[in-house]
Amino acid sequence: MDTEQGLEGGAPHKMTMHPSMLKVIEQKKRIREKLARIKNKIGIYSAKGGVGKTTTAVNIAYTLKGMGYKVGLLDADIDCPNISMFLGINAAAPDGYPIMPIEKDGVKVLSTSMFVDDSKKPIIWRGPMVGKMISEFLENAEWGELDYLIIDMPPGTSDSPLSIIQLLDLKGFVIVTTPQHIPAINAIRSGMMAKRLGVAILGVVENMSDGNIKGGREVAEALGCDVLGFIKLDPSLSGFSDLGRIAVLEDEKIKKEYINIVDRIVGD
């Protein structure tokens, strides 16, 4: 693609766009068209591993579903996809194109784990392959009409989150932290990166809250957003996940905690 750019006081200057840049722009256009019937795409994110991103993504998705919304859940953790285990999904996704998400209790779910035959086998891919898998999902999955697509983000601030940010028009990120200072610093890092790339921060969830209520406030203050809510450290929550059961569908107390958070996301 050639563009004419006038230089001050001089002749028009011819600029050529690099082919790889052109490819990304065209791919983004295709993905935008493909996902046009999804009203809100929200990433659940923190650079820190193990803080409860997947737990938060699953329970936010099913809380939204419980409120009557049409919901999809995309596992963007390509290396360590956990969503299927959290939901007790053992089925493989049907072969062929378009890629059809698997429906579980009324939520459409898609994960790399649905395409590998052994859930314990490591998925060892270099960055470009990870990005390719994400764009494959985004370009070829048939989600239909959705009110919300919840994206369970991988940890880190490199390839996978960058691909998601680059390829999707996100409504924003929900940043997850635990109450401690170090996870909070890493959560701030993720939020700063998102903001620098023009993605809104919808708010912070402090997960595994122990009553001290530190980490969530620290992150929210640094990012200039609100704490959406606190999810208590609760062995029954991990117990449900380990059994492939969805906490908000089983436990009224946990459900209330997530409704408070989701009310604020929806009201945004």
Catalog residues that contact Mg ion under the rule CB under 5 A.
53-54
Binding partner of residue 50 among ligand ATP, Mg ion, none, CB cut-off 5 to 8 Å per kind: ligand ATP
Q: Which of 164, 166, 147 is nearest to 155 (CA)?
A: 164
By the rule CB under 6 A, 208 interacts with ligand ATP: yes
Select from 234, 251, 263, 268 the one that contacts ligand ATP (CB under 6 A).
234
Tokens 């993720």: give the residue: 190
Measured torsion, CA atoms of residues 160, 164, 166, 169, in degrees rounded to the nearest 10: -170
Which range, of 18-26, 48-56, 181-189, 191-199, touches ligand ATP by CB under 6 A? 48-56
- Closest residue by beta carbon to Mg ion: 54
Helices within the chain (DSSP H only) = 19-34, 53-66, 83-87, 127-140, 159-167, 181-196, 215-223, 235-242, 247-250, 252-266
Which range, of 7-15, 22-30, 196-204, 235-243, touches ligand ATP by CB under 6 A? 235-243
CB of 110 to ligand ATP, least distance (A): 16
Which range, of 27-35, 130-138, 163-171, 227-235, touches ligand ATP by CB under 6 A? 227-235
**Inter-CA distances, 130 with 77, 112, 222, Å:** 9, 10, 30
CB of 176 to Mg ion, least distance (A): 10
Are residues 27 and 132 in contact, defined by beta-carbon separation less than 8 angstroms? Answer: no
Between 147 and 234, name the residue whose CB sits nearer to ligand ATP. Answer: 234
CB of 87 to ligand ATP, least distance (A): 12
Select from 35, 40, 41, 54 the one that contacts ligand ATP (CB under 6 A).
54
Instruction: Provide the token pair at 125.
Output: 């891919």
By the rule CB under 6 A, 218 interacts with ligand ATP: no
Residue type, 155: P
CB of 264 to ligand ATP, least distance (A): 18
By the rule CB under 6 A, 237 interacts with ligand ATP: yes
- Within 8 A by CB and 6+ apart from 245, the residues are 88
**Inter-CA distances, 127 with 105, 113, 132, 195, Å:** 33, 18, 9, 22
Binding partner of residue 136 among ligand ATP, Mg ion, none, CB cut-off 5 to 8 Å per kind: none
Select from 52, 81, 191, 203 the one that contacts ligand ATP (CB under 6 A).
52
* DSSP character string of 166-205: HH---SEEEEEE-SSHHHHHHHHHHHHHHHHTTPPEEEEE
Give the count of residues interacting with ligand ATP (CB under 6 A).
Answer: 20
Report the Cα 42 to chain-centroid distance in Å. 6
Please give the backbone phi and psi of residue 230, each rounded to the nearest 5 degrees, phi first. -120, 130
**147-176 footprint of ligand ATP as x/- string (CB under 6 A):** --------x---------------------
Select from 38, 42, 43, 53 the one that contacts ligand ATP (CB under 6 A).
53
Binding site for ligand ATP (CB under 6 A): 49-55, 77, 80, 82, 155, 207-208, 231, 233-235, 237-238, 241
